[in-house]
């Protein structure tokens, strides 16, 4: 992380994928959309669900669970698409549920473990966050959230195929 990214607070949107919580920088978020079936495309990786129209722009929709090597997300009434900026491109990620918007002090972010994988480490770090509403009930209920690095998901080379 650059020095300017290591100081101060940052806002993150947290979301659930399977039983795990993830977060991305609010600055990358364009919008949160209800799930709607994208238009499928031939000859693209299986994690690219298709494309959707976002105010006149074609945006690829990616099954984030599949991209991470997990079983595909089961669609339900809280399934949604996080439309994000990755560099100069946009992509929509299918997630199981948006949880909250939280402010995280960058000094509280712990480094991701150095685990040898075939893929680049897509986790920038880990942080404990309070679950909404639990503190009001007098409970201390925190959960570990993985901070997702959108650039390292390596979807941009596939975005050109889908766009």
Q: What is the pLDDT of residue 134?
A: 53
Q: What is the pLDDT of residue 7?
A: 74
Q: What is the pLDDT of residue 1?
A: 45
Q: How far apart are CA 123 and CA 104, in angstroms?
A: 16
Handedness of CA 31, 28, 129, 77 (dihedral sign): positive
Q: What is the pLDDT of residue 3?
A: 45
Q: What is the pLDDT of residue 29?
A: 96
pTM of the model: 0.84
Q: What is the pLDDT of residue 21?
A: 95
pLDDT digits (tens), the chain, 163 positions: 444 455 789 999 999 999 999 999 999 999 999 999 999 999 989 999 999 999 999 999 999 999 998 999 999 999 999 999 998 889 999 999 999 999 999 999 998 877 666 566 889 899 999 876 555 555 558 899 999 998 888 666 555 555 5
């Amino acid at each position: 992380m650059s020095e300017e990214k290591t100081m101060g607070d940052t806002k993150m949107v947290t979301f659930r994928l399977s039983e795990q919580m993830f977060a991305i920088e609010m600055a990358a978020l364009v919008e949160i959309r209800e799930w709607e079936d994208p238009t499928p495309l031939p000859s693209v990786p299986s994690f690219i669900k298709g494309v959707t129209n976002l105010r006149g722009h074609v945006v690829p929709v990616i099954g984030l669970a599949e991209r991470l090597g997990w079983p595909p997300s089961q669609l339900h009434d809280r399934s949604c698409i996080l439309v994000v900026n990755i560099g100069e491109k946009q992509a929509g990620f299918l997630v199981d549920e948006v949880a909250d918007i939280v402010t995280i002090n960058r000094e509280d972010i712990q480094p991701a473990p150095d685990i040898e994988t075939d893929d680049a480490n897509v986790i920038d770090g880990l942080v404990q966050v309070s679950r909404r509403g639990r503190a009001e009930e007098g409970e201390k209920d925190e959960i570990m959230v993985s901070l997702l690095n959108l650039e390292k998901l390596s979807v941009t080379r596939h975005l050109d195929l889908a766009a």
